[in-house]
Amino acid sequence: MHIQNDTEGMQLALAWAARGMYTTAPNPRVGCVIVRDGVVLGAGHTQPAGQAHAEIMALRDAAANGHDVHGATAYVTLEPCNHHGRTPPCSDALVAAGLGRVVAAMTDPNPLVAGQGLAKLQAAGIEVASGVLAAQAHEMNIGFFSRMQRARPWVRMKTAASLDGVTALHNGQSQWITGEQARADGHAWRARACAILTGIGTVKADNPQLNVRAVDTPRQPRRIIVDSKLEIDLEARVLQGGASWIVAAKPDAAKEAALRAAGHDVIMLPNAAGKVDLAALMLELGRREINELHVEAGSKLNGSLICEGCVDELLVYLAPCLIGDGQGMFALPALQQLDQKVRLRFHEMTHMGEDIRVLARFISPEE
């Protein structure tokens, strides 16, 4: 491949970043390619936490291929780090390698970096630039940016429904409203999330596994159950095959002890009404380094999360069918005026087999 300009260089770096889609959390997904005279000398992406970052992998790749990177250009999808975390600063490694130019898609929102990585490179005589394909780079790490800037994860709520907004019959039957391609795509969105959240109502009604099955993934997301009264059955499928977090509001010493003995964590976050404080939960998940949270819950919890301002994006699969009276997507209070409506912006609409996938983002009141 011959790289003709900065845009092409960054496109390739983003393609490398995507290789870490399921593995880098809580670190961002970053790709790096090193180019001289249009020829790619080395490329890499961030490895699992505690292992090498993208820049180090690209430098190692170049060395393994026998290339001298002195004076070359590095394209990196996020500003090189400038602090000692689990690994040493990447900016130091780039300086030591003698690169001539570093192009970053965008600066790092982490306050430990925030422009300092590029400043160090510039101080060492390396030409720097940023802002190339910044929007695409932001989408790649939308959860990491959310956690750095708002101290909470990016929350994506997934639901599948008929064209008249029905997710299940009143008897609970819901398999299957959407087709196989839409269901597999839903699992891909599960796989990229750090955690999947549901409510005790869904656990009781469906006994879901809440794991990734339809796509290959090297790791399963954490499973989180909102269960105010700790009603969960210890044999529930969601508690099998890995540690879950159960978020409650009313203590039950015996149940807590049994859950912890089975390897699960119980998080007590009551609000004044004796329910789980959902806003506080989002901050707790941010503290626990959850970048992207994937919600698959029933209409009641969906509605509560929306009303509490905890949801950033809806991931809705619409099937070309009508069901009539049944269970809805979101239990929201009745409005008195249309100007009270919750406003969203369509971000993306895509055909998924016979179904349509809609990504819609909530518009903040100040927008």
The catalytic position among 55, 79, 296, 313 is 55
**Pairwise CA distance, residues 277 & 136, whole Å:** 33
**Pairwise CA distance, residues 321 & 352, whole Å:** 15
**Pairwise CA distance, residues 132 & 343, whole Å:** 31
The answer to whether 367 is a known catalytic residue is: no
**Pairwise CA distance, residues 229 & 251, whole Å:** 7
Q: Which backbone phi and psi does 298 adopt, to 5 degrees? A: -85, 175
SS3 annotation, the chain: CECCCHHHHHHHHHHHHHCCCCCCCCCCCCEEEEEECCEEEEEEECCCCCCCCHHHHHHHHHHHCCCCCCCCEEEECCCCCCCCCCCCCHHHHHHHHCCCEEEECCCCCCCCCCCHHHHHHHHCCCEEEECCCHHHHHHHCHHHHHHHHHCCCEEEEEEEEECCCEEECCCCCCCCCCCHHHHHHHHHHHHHCCEEEEEHHHHHHHCCCCCCCCCCCCCCCEEEEECCCCCCCCCCHHHCCCCEEEEECCCCHHHHHHHHHCCCEEEECECCCCCECHHHHHHHHHHCCCCEEEECCCHHHHHHHHHCCCCCEEEEEEECCCCCCCEECCCCCCCCCHHHCCCEEEEEEEEECCEEEEEEEECCCCC
Query: Among 261, 269, 205, which Cα is nearest to 237's?
Result: 205
CA Rg value for the chain: 23
**Enzyme catalytic residues:** 55
